[in-house]
Amino acid sequence: MNTNEVIGMKKFDVKDIIRQACEWIVDFFEKNGKGCNAIVGISGGKDSSVAAALCVKALGRDRVIGVLMPNGVQSDIEDAQKLVAHLGIKSYTVNIKDAFEGLVNAMPKELEFTTQARVNLPPRLRMSTLYAVGQCCNGRVVNTCNLSEDWVGYSTRYGDAAGDFSPLSHLTVTEVKLIGKELGLPTELVEKVPSDGLSGRSDEDNLGFTYAVLDKYIRTGVCEDEKTKALIDRKHELNLFKLQLMPSFDPQF
């Protein structure tokens, strides 16, 4: 794709978006942690890679810390290591296997530990890990979710959906990939097919539609297949609560 790619009704000037994102990151740290470090959970996928790269460009590699968090053996951990080496950032590896199994084993036996509970527990443990590292390293935790995933609720509340600042949450998968390519990230990381790491299925398999179709719908409102459109709308409506502040009772005195 060209630097000025037409996405939806507007041109996506990737160089200008990168400039804006870096200025925004610098401004965030000026106001919310001057001199602090950016703490990024590194999975080896496009989102954590691009988020980390933007932080390096904005703050310098000495203020970005990557955290690799396998749950036991991670088959693609070499991708995360490749990203760390490519950016030249400090990193730590924290294996969450013992914490995960300890919590699972500590659950009351009369409770059914559902598949959904098992899927969502590791992201929440990883977020706890990032905040622990952050408090040890004068850090602010990077949220790495993108607009496409947020739109249909493909994230774990208080897991990967948490963080102190979010450079990608208004950018679609298509746009995040363009940024990654412009920043010179390894192609295999930018184009890596995202998966849940559990079922052997890709994110798109689980969602029931491609990110290309979703991104077009987000930016233009156009989705040719009515069933797909209805599925996206339903997921969006059901998961809006993830993007909103927790409801709180406001007593009227």
Overall average pLDDT of the 172-180 stretch: 98
pLDDT class for 1, splitting at 50, 70, 90? very low
| pTM for this predicted structure | 0.92
Please give the mean pLDDT across all residues of the chain.
93
For 19-55, write each residue's pLDDT tens digit.
Answer: 999 999 999 999 999 999 999 999 999 999 999 999 9
Distance CA 78, CA 85 (A): 10
pLDDT > 70? residue 136: yes
pLDDT band for position 194 (50/70/90)? confident
Percent of the chain with pLDDT over 70: 94
Average pLDDT over residues 173-178: 98
Q: Give the tens place of pLDDT for each residue, 111-135.
A: 999 999 999 999 999 999 999 999 9
- Residue pLDDT, tens place only, 66-89: 999 999 999 899 999 999 999 999
Picking from 5-9, 26-30, 113-117, 222-226, which range would have the lowest pLDDT averaged per residue?
Answer: 5-9
Neighbour tally for 37: CB within 10 Å: 21
144 exposure class (CB count in 10 Å sphere: 0-12, 13-18, 19+): buried
The whole-number pLDDT of residue 199 equals: 57
Cα distance between residue 209 and residue 207, in whole Å: 6
Inform me whether the pLDDT recorded for 202 exceeds 90: no
In whole angstroms, give the CA distance from residue 144 to residue 147.
Answer: 10
All residues at 6 or more sequence positions from 123 whose CB lies less than 8 Å from its CB, including other chains? 155, 156, 159, 160
Domains of the chain, with CATH numbers?
4-243 (3.40.50.620)
> Tokens 């290591």 appear where?
81
Alpha-carbon distance of 197 to 211, in angstroms, equals 18
